[in-house]
Amino acid sequence: MRLMLLGAPGVGKGSQAVLLAKALSVPHISTGDIFRCHIVNNTELGKEAQKYMDKGMLVPDELTVSIVASRLKQDDCQDGFILDGFPRTINQAVFLDKVLDELKMQLDMIINIVLDDRSIINRLSGRRICAKCGAVYHIEDKAPANEGICDLCKGELIQREDDNEETIVRRLKVYHEMTKPLIDNYKGRVKMVDVESNKSFEVTTQKVFSAVGLKSAKVEA
C-alpha cells in the first residue's frame, strides 16, 4: 500500500507511521528522520538542514526532493511505502507527482491527521525523546517511571532542539501557510481520510488502522 500522512507537526504522524509501517511491512519514509540522521552523522547535508530545522523553518526544496526521489527508487519501496513529512509544500507535491509518474506508481490513500493548535503546542513542548533508542515520552501524558530516563533502554531523555515554544509556534505558522494547502491540492484526486487525534494515542492508532482496512492495531512492541 502506498500511503501519505498529512498533518501539522505534533499531531503524532511519526509515531503512527512507525506502527503502520510495521503492520503493513512497508518502509517508513520520514524526511525529518532522514535529516536528523544526517545531522547525527555530521554530513554536509546535515549541517545545511540543521540551520533551518533548529529555527523551525523548512529545509529548501532543492535539498529535500532528491532525497525522496532516490529513496522511492530503492527496491524496498516497490511494494509500498508510507510518506511522513513529505511533501510539505505545493512545489514538493508537484515534484512527487512527477517521480511517481516516472515509477508508474499511484498513491492509494492519504491520511490527514487533525489536531487543534493549542493541543499541538502542549504536546510538543512536553515531548521528550530518548537519545539512545528514540522512544517518545511526554512529561505529563506519558511520563517515564524515572524522570529523564528511558523506560526501555535507560537512555537519557532529551528535548528536541526544535521543540521549544518559540520554534513550535514558527513550525505551526509554516504548516498553515505552506503545508495545509496540500489538502486541497490532493482532494478529489487521491482518497483522503481525516483522522482526529484529540483522544489517546491508542485511539488514534485504531482509527488510522481502520482507515487502511487493518482490523487491530495490536503490534508487538
Question: Residues in the site for ligand ADP, rule: CB under 6 A?
Answer: 9-10, 31-32, 35, 52-53, 56-59, 64, 85-86, 88, 92, 162, 171
Is 153 a binding residue for Zn ion by CB under 5 A? The answer is yes
> Among residues 59, 135, 168, 182, which is the contact residue for Zn ion, using CB under 5 A?
135
What the block records as the C-alpha cell of 165 is 515554544
Q: Does the footprint of Zn ion cover residue 130 (CB under 5 A)?
A: yes
Shortest distance (Å) from residue 214 CB to Zn ion: 27
Give whichever of 184 and 220 is closer to Zn ion, judged by the CB atom. Answer: 220
Binding-site partner at residue 135 among ligand ADP, Zn ion, none, CB < 5 to 8 Å by type: Zn ion
Residue 59 binds what, of Zn ion, ligand ADP, none (CB under 5 to 8 Å, by partner type)?
ligand ADP
Query: CB under 5 to 8 A by kind: which of ligand ADP, Zn ion, none does 37 bind?
Result: none
Closest distance of CB 89 from ligand ADP, Å? 7
Q: How far apart (Å, rounded) are the C-alpha atoms in residues 68 and 84?
A: 11
94 is an interface residue for Zn ion by CB under 5 A: no
CA nearest neighbour of 56 among 169, 181, 138: 169
Q: How far apart (Å, rounded) are the C-alpha atoms in residues 131 and 36?
A: 12
Which positions ≥6 away from 108 have C-beta within 8 Å?
Answer: 1, 2, 3, 191
Residue 29 binds what, of ligand ADP, Zn ion, none (CB under 5 to 8 Å, by partner type)?
none
- If one asks whether residue 133 binds Zn ion (CB under 5 A), the answer comes out as yes
CA distance 9 to 125: 12
* Cβ closest to ligand ADP, residue 37 vs residue 103: 37
The radius of gyration computed from the CA coordinates of the chain, to the nearest angstrom, equals 17
Whether a cis peptide bond, with omega within 30° of 0, leads into 181 is no
One-letter amino acid at 52 equals: Y
Q: Which stretch binds Zn ion (CB under 5 A): 7-15, 41-49, 154-162, 167-175?
A: 154-162
Alpha helices in the chain (DSSP H): 13-24, 31-40, 44-53, 61-72, 90-102, 117-125, 165-174, 181-186, 201-211
Q: Phi first, then psi: what are they for 192, rounded to 5°?
A: -125, 130
Distance CA 13, CA 112 (A): 9
Q: How far is the CB of 157 from Zn ion (least distance, A)?
A: 8
Return residues touching Zn ion (CB under 5 A): 130, 132-133, 135, 150, 152-153, 155
